[in-house]
Structure 1
Amino acid sequence: MDENRQAQLKQLPGVDRILEFGADEGHFDHIPKSVLIPAIRSAIDALRAQIIESDVPPDSSCFSRITLVAEVKKQAGQTMALKLRRTVNATGVVVHTNLGRSLLSPVVMGNLAAISSRYSNLEFDLKAGRRGSRYSAVEGILCELSGAQAAMIVNNNAAATLLCLDTLATGQEVIVSRGELVEIGGSYRIPDVMAKSGAILKEVGTTNRTHPRDYENAIGERTGLLLKVHTSNYSIVGFTAAVSLPDLVSIGRRHGLPVMEDLGSGTLVDFSKYGLIKEPTVQESLAAGVDVVTFSGDKLLGGPQAGIILGGRRHIDRIKANSLTRALRIDKMTLAALEATLQLYRDEPQAMQQIPTLRMLTLPLPVIQGRAAELKSRLERIPGARLKVELLDISSKAGGGSLPMLDLPSRCLGVTVDGTSVNAVERWMRSSNPPIIGRIENDQFIVDPRTLQEEELDIIEKAFADMLAVGTHGR
């Protein structure tokens, strides 16, 4: 090591010295000491590494009080920044699992804030003046909307399925069609959940065809439950056959066996009325006579993450009494958000407008086209000639494993920047504040207006303007 580098190493200040630098003008007053000390050490270590490892040693400005204090504040800011951040969803995937699935309505957020920031009657019966059930806040309205006799809620649909199987069929055989043994994101697999519940899987039929006789022939002394799993995240097409829910219910009745349906996404709205493909509703499943039905709260319902269990009172009461319910129960915030979301369903036109998931799924194409044209005009007004914007007809997706065969017509923007790779554009957008998440297709950065909120056009315009101003290049 040369003498110049050795001299610079001797110039490195200690932790106490940098603390004095910051204390003189109150630079560190709002930084907790538990964060500040590691930030100072990190700044010193970074400068030491630069002295030792860099081809060109740092200049004298790196040792100035201003530079050192600024670096410490930067390190502390990175440590204290919240890791869970708001993002802009420009992907066109409405129920985007990686971006938090369904958005909550402003009405719902108002109730969530009110309940979360104050005490509530979470488990207190105001009329009786004694302890009550946390499920009472939503059980009545769930039964009203769906036609179920009873209801309960756990923290997600995987938990709902696990709890129901553990209650109704532990140690017994559960008969399910081979074509319905689904796996969804995060390695959630029906056979694995069944094994954890203590139930014994008994497959019937083939991957593409299952008939009523397959169930009839499989029923025996050890059979405890007939299970139907809605293929909401994939579709088998071509030479296929499946047993309808009413037929499965009839088989169950003849043999004295309960029938359960895992709807997966689950919806209270018939989307075919709005020009989308038909998806079985929760009401239709219960009307067919199913004993228990489960579905998610944060997919097509458009509410918070939850697993909703509906059905006959005899079976739901047994499920409520299972000791696992305490481990899987939801908190006051989920209840507050779910109840307020369900209230909107009492007026379906209101629900379609005020629940963001429903609104985005059914957003008219002319509205999307107008939004795309406005954003294109904004981007083309940004100074400089490097930005190229093209309007494209590309489909959006429902997402979250919902409506897998549905392509939602959309008008998207394909953006390129001269002298900058599309990967560099995507990285810039993703590192913006807030991060903008789009997708890359045909060497263009794609922005789908379907999933953009009104104020987010400004955010996207600013992000591109900043990028061009900085002059980002690279691969």
Structure 2
Amino acid sequence: MSGAATGAQPDAGATGTSVAGAGNTRARSVHLPAMHLILSDPSCQPLLTGYGREQTLAAARALLAELRGDMLRVANAGGSAPAAAGEITIPAITALLAQRLAQANQSPLRPVFNLSGTVLHTNLGRALLPDCAVQAVAEALRWPMNLEWDIDTGKRGDRDDLVEDLLRELTGAEAVTIVNNNAAAVLLMLDTLADGREAIVSRGELVEIGGTFRIPDIMQRAGATLREVGSTNRTHLHDYANAANTQTALLLKVHCSNYAITGFTKSVEVAELAPLARERQIPLAVDLGSGTLVDLEQYGLPHETTVRETIAAGADLVTFSGDKLLGGPQCGIIAGRADLIARIKRNPLKRALRVGKLTLAALAPVLALYRAPDLLPERLTTLRLLTRPAADMRAQAQAILPLLQRALGADYDVRDEAMTSQIGSGALPVDLLPSHGLTVRAAAGSRVSDALGVLERRLRALPIPVVGRVAQDALWLDLRCLDADHQQRFIAQLEALAV
């Protein structure tokens, strides 16, 4: 069937539309049913109920116009009409309508199977929420909530209060405030404390992360003047001391996301910088980026500096994300000194950057899980995926392999192989996790041109698209993020790959 027909076409009349080839008197006439007959047919009633009359009518008009256009082009070219009278039935038309309406009403935000090997994949939504958070969000969707209303006093409250006590308990901070992501947290902090003044940053920490978020650009937007110190690979305490002056509003340290500088390097730790900040009475702020609330080493993962460690080392303010290692919803958290947080909350930008009830509904139960750190690997989805044993993934790969091989046929060679996962979203960028999964290569003598490209597109076209990665002449399907609860849904749609 062709695309939209060119030229205006009238709606089918009471008796329908008859099309015959103008240059071919032997072409058989084909009738399209009248619109009122289509809409009144029992097969169309579920569409009217589900999609409404206006949308169904518009889709039916477009479909009939395309059918007319197809038939006219064939008939005028001297060929036979594509179907005999009566063969284009109303049930056939409503079946096509059902497909089109379903496709048009499908949400553009769809679930996918993340087999890329990156757990906190920014393009795939980062952290998956645990069930307690999902249930809390569902409740917040159904009910009015005490977002900014104090139940005890019956007066207006502060939405940050809903999670502040928990965050103070978990981080050791005096106060906190929440905005919509960590970039917003950095922007708000700089705009409040350094607008029209200088902020000192090491040259080795002038990072750019995904989406071209650059520290110098954010500082410029916030009205702060960047004062670079040190060199790309080495910065010393005296570099900060020599640069500090009466115009200095902030000493800023930035977590190096997505990369690591190795070799002949030197950076100044928070504990080294804090005495200078106190001596000069300049706030010391740290952008942790990912920001974990627990020591990951106790779960067999590489160490990442925690928010509590950073505040204990002398940071006055710490900014970090909610949807990375913390394992919660997208948000940015600013924690630290009460007087500085109070200034930040008075900034008019705070209202523009604040979070809504759904974010807070999800964040509160996730934070509550951290009160039982010994149970965290089984309750917090992100940590459960990061600590998943390679043996479990190996068993999963061996169970799926014959099913995938059968679906793909002799043109492809499927193997189970050891591989490595990464945490993602800038967290521990050089640390890899032992994993296991499936690799798919073009088989010797494969009849498929661009076999891996074809397969990747076929996987993305599945009802739940599958996201892998192509490297070393193979498609790698890392099973770390294939939850056992979703394995059967993954297997069930493999049949759609068969050709």
Q: Give the alignment's TM-score, normalised by structure 1.
A: 0.92
Does 2:23 correspond to 1:23?
Answer: no
**Cα distance in 2, alignment partners of residues 430 and 203 from structure 1:** 45
* C-alpha deviation, 1:371, in angstroms: 2.1
Task: Give the partner amino acid of 1:80.
Answer: N
Preserved CA contact (<8 Å) 2:439 2:476: yes
Between stretches 197-206 and 274-283, larger displacement belongs to 274-283
* C-alpha deviation, 1:427, in angstroms: 1.3
**Cα distance in 1, alignment partners of residues 130 and 492 from structure 2:** 26
Q: What secondary structure is seen at the aligned counterpart in 1 of 2:492?
A: helix
* C-alpha deviation, 1:128, in angstroms: 1.2
1:278-317 → structure 2 map (5 Å cutoff): 278-317=303-342
CA displacement 1:256-293 (0-9 Å, x = unmatched):
10010000011012122333222111111000111100
1:233-312 → structure 2 map (5 Å cutoff): 233-312=258-337
* C-alpha deviation, 1:124, in angstroms: 1.2
Partner of 2:455: 425
Q: 2:70 aligns with which of 9, 34, 50?
A: 50
With over 3 angstroms needed to count, the CA separation of the structure-2 counterparts of 1:5 and 1:41, relative to structure 1, is farther
Q: What secondary structure is seen at the aligned counterpart in 2 of 1:3?
A: coil
Task: Give the partner amino acid of 1:443.
Answer: D
Task: Give the partner amino acid of 2:106.
Answer: A
* C-alpha deviation, 1:381, in angstroms: 6.6
Task: Give the partner amino acid of 2:22.
Answer: E
Q: 2:241 aligns with which of 216, 221, 227?
A: 216
Partner of 1:3: 22
**Cα distance in 1, alignment partners of residues 100 and 408 from structure 2:** 34
Does 2:474 correspond to 1:448?
Answer: no
* C-alpha deviation, 1:419, in angstroms: 4.0
* C-alpha deviation, 1:19, in angstroms: 4.4
Preserved CA contact (<8 Å) 1:90 1:449: yes
With over 3 angstroms needed to count, the CA separation of the structure-2 counterparts of 1:133 and 1:335, relative to structure 1, is same
Task: Give the partner amino acid of 1:376.
Answer: L
Cα RMSD for the two superposed structures: 2.5
With over 3 angstroms needed to count, the CA separation of the structure-2 counterparts of 1:23 and 1:310, relative to structure 1, is same
* C-alpha deviation, 1:176, in angstroms: 0.3
Structure 2 gap ranges (5+): 1-19
* C-alpha deviation, 1:20, in angstroms: 2.7
**Cα distance in 2, alignment partners of residues 200 and 308 from structure 1:** 23
Q: What secondary structure is seen at the aligned counterpart in 2 of 1:85?
A: coil
Preserved CA contact (<8 Å) 1:429 1:463: no
Q: What secondary structure is seen at the aligned counterpart in 1 of 2:429?
A: coil
**Cα distance in 2, alignment partners of residues 318 and 59 from structure 1:** 74
* C-alpha deviation, 1:450, in angstroms: 0.5
**Cα distance in 2, alignment partners of residues 300 and 425 from structure 1:** 32
CA displacement 1:110-157 (0-9 Å, x = unmatched):
222122211221111111121111111100000001100101100100
Task: Give the partner amino acid of 1:442.
Answer: Q
Percent of aligned pairs sharing the same letter: 41
**Cα distance in 1, alignment partners of residues 429 and 155 from structure 2:** 47
Between stretches 191-200 and 43-52, larger displacement belongs to 43-52
Preserved CA contact (<8 Å) 1:9 1:51: no
**Cα distance in 2, alignment partners of residues 387 and 443 from structure 1:** 12
Preserved CA contact (<8 Å) 1:300 1:402: yes
* C-alpha deviation, 1:333, in angstroms: 0.7
**Cα distance in 1, alignment partners of residues 80 and 440 from structure 2:** 40
**Cα distance in 1, alignment partners of residues 22 and 116 from structure 2:** 55
Partner of 1:194: 219
Structure 1 gap ranges (5+): none
Aligned positions, number = 467
Q: Give the alignment's TM-score, normalised by structure 2.
A: 0.87
Does 2:363 correspond to 1:338?
Answer: yes
